[in-house]
């Protein structure tokens, strides 16, 4: 792994985290925020494979933990599993394909919402599933899918440039 | 070295990282204090960045405010002047009442019931990620005298409570957070009740009020404030106006809805009350 790539990862995690937690209404639509950190984790997992998705997911989750949770490690675990799971789809990764990553990102957002709902709400006896589904989960999934398209394209473009550089330096 | 690295496949990575996570969860559940320095270091590094991106973002995203025409501003100014005059008048009357109140209280040897709380202003620098939990961070921390369990207000209404403090920032859990329970009372009748935070109901603009005594003489439009029996919230901070009072299905208590007077969608500056509520701890197990 080249230094460029490491810097790229650190910067993208930082920028995504800052945008995610920013107070101003960045990208907010109909009162939902797209989950940018999840988009980053899934995208890296998808275009780079399991290992890197896993590490990025872990770092993203850990940042969320440090920032918002009382228990360190819970979000880190969820995010690293997401990064790892999306590494399975790495085999189907083609640079020009856009439908699979979009569907993947929206689907991931939905699964993520289910996980959060189950562990943080249903286990505490808040069981209004349908209302959460309509008000948070589905809008978030749809919106994440749309925003993901842009972020995915940007990340992919940078990744391709870095990969080209790495290949050239090998010879 | 390179050969060894290749032998570490993704499954090993997975196992290692899951182990790390489980370890972290274990440590923070059983010995939470150990990780506080790590947390505060990361927060100290990130807080200035959050402050920076917010000031940039706010100036970019509030451009529509700059676009207001002179005419609009003049109209607004006139309206505000009128309001100001009306409020001045009201204030004078209230001041007179205050003098009278003090005199009467002196006569009755009652101390002032609602003392003024000392406050510190703070700016919101970031909010929780995602749409699920309503928490945010402010740019004042232990160096500015902020302590855990201090109350946070804005627009003269209760916002939430400080639950975690680092040197230069603090985290606030709002009353609309799903895990929040605030012991409160009706200002007029002093009937106690609980305001339960919920994302579900807040989407429709209200919070649930539960455990109101079934004989309580309360009506729609009554003001709800924090209770004198609350263990963490100072007494008499406004929460909101009550509507929709109903008898519970169990016929033992009443439930109602309260509309918070704080605009939780547009919180940018808040006040932290630096007076901590003093309570005798009667029951260690209860938590708010």
Q: How far apart, in whole angstroms, are the C-alpha atoms of residue B219 and residue B186?
A: 10
Can you give the pTM of this predicted structure?
Answer: 0.72
Same domain, B142 and B273: yes
Q: Which residues form the domain of B234?
A: 115-277
pLDDT at B81: 92
A58 or A142, which is more confident? A58
Chain A contact for B112 (CB, 8 A cutoff) = no
Q: How far apart, in whole angstroms, are the C-alpha atoms of residue A117 and residue B199?
A: 12
pLDDT digits (tens, 9 = 90+) for A97-156: 778 888 888 888 888 888 888 877 777 666 677 777 777 778 778 888 888 888 888 888
Cβ distance B126 to A51 less than 8 Å, yes or no, reads no
Chain B residue whose CA is closest to A144: B130
Cβ distance A51 to B13 less than 8 Å, yes or no, reads yes
Domain ranges of chain A: 3-18+35-166
Q: How far apart, in whole angstroms, are the C-alpha atoms of residue B160 and residue B146?
A: 14
Stretches in chain B below the pLDDT threshold 50: 1-3, 112-114
Question: Do B165 and B142 form a contact (C-beta atoms < 8 A)?
Answer: yes
pLDDT at B30: 80
Q: Decide if B131 is inside a domain.
A: yes
Same domain, B173 and B30: no
pLDDT at A25: 60
Same domain, B73 and B211: no
Chain B contact for A28 (CB, 8 A cutoff) = no
Q: Decide if B235 is inside a domain.
A: yes
Cβ distance A22 to B32 less than 8 Å, yes or no, reads no
Q: Beta partners for B195?
A: B182, B209
Chain A contact for B128 (CB, 8 A cutoff) = yes
Q: Decide if B261 is inside a domain.
A: yes
pLDDT at A170: 59
pLDDT at B2: 47
Chain B residue whose CA is closest to A122: B178
Q: Decide if B147 is inside a domain.
A: yes
Cβ distance B28 to A55 less than 8 Å, yes or no, reads no
Same domain, B130 and B230: yes
pLDDT digits (tens, 9 = 90+) for B198-224: 877 777 778 888 888 878 788 888 888
Q: How far apart, in whole angstroms, are the C-alpha atoms of residue B87 and residue A89?
A: 65
Residue of B23, B40, B130 to mutate, interface with A, max A Cβ within 10 Å: B130
Same domain, B192 and B244: yes
Split into its structural domains, chain B has a count of 3
Q: What percent of chain B has pLDDT over 90?
A: 3
């Amino acid at each position: 792994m080249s230094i460029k790539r490491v810097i790229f990862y650190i910067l993208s995690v930082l920028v995504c985290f800052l945008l995610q937690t920013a107070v101003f209404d960045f990208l907010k639509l109909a009162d939902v925020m797209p989950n940018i950190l999840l988009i980053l984790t899934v995208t890296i997992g998808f275009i780079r494979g399991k290992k890197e998705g896993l590490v990025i997911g872990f770092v993203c989750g850990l940042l969320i933990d440090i920032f918002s949770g009382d228990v360190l490690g819970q979000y880190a675990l969820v995010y690293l599993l997401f990064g790892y799971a999306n590494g399975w789809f790495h085999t189907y990764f083609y640079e020009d394909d856009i439908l699979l990553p979009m569907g993947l990102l929206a689907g991931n957002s939905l699964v993520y919402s289910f996980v959060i709902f189950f562990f943080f709400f249903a286990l505490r006896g808040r069981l209004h599933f349908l209302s959460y589904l309509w008000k948070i989960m589905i809008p978030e999934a749809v919106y994440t899918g749309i925003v993901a398209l842009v972020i995915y394209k940007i990340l992919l473009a940078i990744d391709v440039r870095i990969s080209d550089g790495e290949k050239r330096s090998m010879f | 070295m390179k050969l060894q690295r290749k032998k570490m496949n993704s499954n090993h990575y997975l196992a290692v990282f899951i182990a790390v996570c489980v370890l972290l969860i274990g440590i923070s559940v059983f010995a939470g204090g150990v990780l506080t320095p790590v947390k505060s270091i990361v927060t100290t590094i990130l807080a200035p960045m959050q402050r920076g991106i917010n000031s940039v973002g706010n100036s970019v995203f509030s451009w529509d405010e700059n676009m207001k025409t002179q005419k609009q501003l003049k109209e607004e100014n006139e309206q505000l002047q009128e309001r100001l005059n009306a409020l001045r008048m009201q204030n004078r009357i209230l001041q007179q009442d205050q003098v009278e109140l003090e005199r009467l209280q002196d006569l009755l040897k009652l101390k002032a019931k609602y003392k003024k709380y000392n406050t510190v202003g703070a700016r919101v620098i970031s909010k929780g990620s995602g749409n699920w939990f309503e928490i945010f961070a402010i740019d004042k921390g232990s160096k500015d005298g902020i302590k855990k369990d201090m109350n946070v207000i804005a627009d003269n209404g209760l916002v939430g409570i400080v639950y975690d403090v680092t040197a230069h920032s603090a985290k606030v859990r709002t009353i609309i957070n799903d895990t929040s329970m605030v012991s409160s009372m009706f200002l007029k009748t002093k009937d106690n009740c609980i305001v339960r935070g919920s994302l579900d109901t807040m989407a429709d603009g209200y919070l649930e009020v539960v455990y109101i005594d079934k004989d309580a003489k309360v009506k729609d439009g009554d003001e709800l404030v924090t209770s004198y029996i609350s263990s963490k919230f100072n007494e008499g901070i406004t929460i909101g106006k009550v509507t929709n009072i109903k008898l519970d299905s169990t016929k033992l208590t009443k439930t109602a809805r309260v509309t918070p007077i704080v605009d939780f969608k547009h919180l940018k500056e808040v006040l932290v009350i630096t007076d901590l509520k003093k309570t005798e701890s009667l029951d260690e197990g209860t938590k708010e």
